[in-house]
Structure 1
Amino acid sequence: MYIPSHFRDDDLESIRATIRCARLANLITATSDGPLATPLPLFLDESEGKHGALYGHLAKGNPQWRTAPIGEALAIFSGAEAYVTPSWYPSKRHTEHVVPTWNYIAVHAHGPIEFFEDPKRLLEIVTRLTNIHETSRATPWAVSDAPADFIAVQLREIVGVRIPITMVEGKRKMSQNRPAPDRVGVATGLAASKLAQDQEVAALILAQD
């Protein structure tokens, strides 16, 4: 990922927060048949190694796990993002040398990928992933709510994914390269939007000043 110095996010906790907040990742592997990609939820186990390890699962019918990867896998996590019009820049009154851009947060996690079919490991992964996404609900659903024999059948239809992270890249592009009045102008414009993500980006721009 191309990351100019003023957009680089080297804060590990900030990077982990982006991973935790991303509801869906994109898992990409290079193969002799070309790149393969699957959108899927992944969770981070921070206790494994310097950067942690990612876990999730694929459908057994997905050819990605059967196709030998070339090199490491890449998991892409996206955070808040918003279109930025140059009309919000006060500096536009003094120069026409302005163009539209996009503000966004992204994390790229690299590492060797492991696929596994062990039912015990799969049950653990499915249970942890379910708990992460159910815990905020008023009445959380649990894997144990379903009949054990039914869950056993479902586990035979998936393949586990583990990626111990060897390198992680964080990018937080929030108008840092613009003068302070332009940043305020962008934040004000986005805050007036009806889109929740635009309003979130507005708050992030102001939080870093």
Structure 2
Amino acid sequence: MAAERENRERAATGVTAAPRRRGRLDQPMPPRRRFLPEWDPEAFGRLSERIARFLGTGRFIVWMTIIIILWVVWNVSAPRDLRFDNYPFIFLTLMLSLQASYAAPLILLAQNRQDDRDRVNLEQDRKQNERSIADTEYLTREIAALRMGLGEVATRDWIRSELQDLVKELEERYAEGSGDGRVVFPAERSRARDVDDR
């Protein structure tokens, strides 16, 4: 009954297609059928890097030179019915072209992967440099604040010089005020205290 009513409402509004059923969002979708083979791009990239690394070694050049020399010597000096690639060496040219056509993309793929790694490393280095600069600036501000704070702290030498100035001033006042010759602060005692402080 409710389905008929929905169909009538759709027909009245001009909507004729049935609504799409939505799957549950808390469950994974079923895997789709793929017509192409699947491969792991990371594994393929690692393989291409290994091949490109091997193509760039002297060992590859030596082996390739040995194979080409053996190929040419065999196809020139072997009996006619055992030769598989006569003088213009068309098959050898085809094999070398095939090897070059595969080597170039593999080398480019390896270079692209290396560029991506370098880009990530540069970004990490840039962030590390920013953190180091921020830390250095923070430490510089802290050292400047400590220096300013230490500029206001009274040191032992400064206090000692101030006390000596006060003692001299008191001795001068006492000498002016009374003539009996008494000394308010004996010098021997203050010197002994200075030695003890050091």
TM-score range, shorter chain: under 0.3
- Structure of higher RCO (CA pairs closer than 8 Å, 6+ residues apart): 1
Question: Considering only CA atoms, is the larger Rg found in Structure 1 or Structure 2?
Answer: 2
Q: TM-score, normalised by structure 1?
A: 0.15
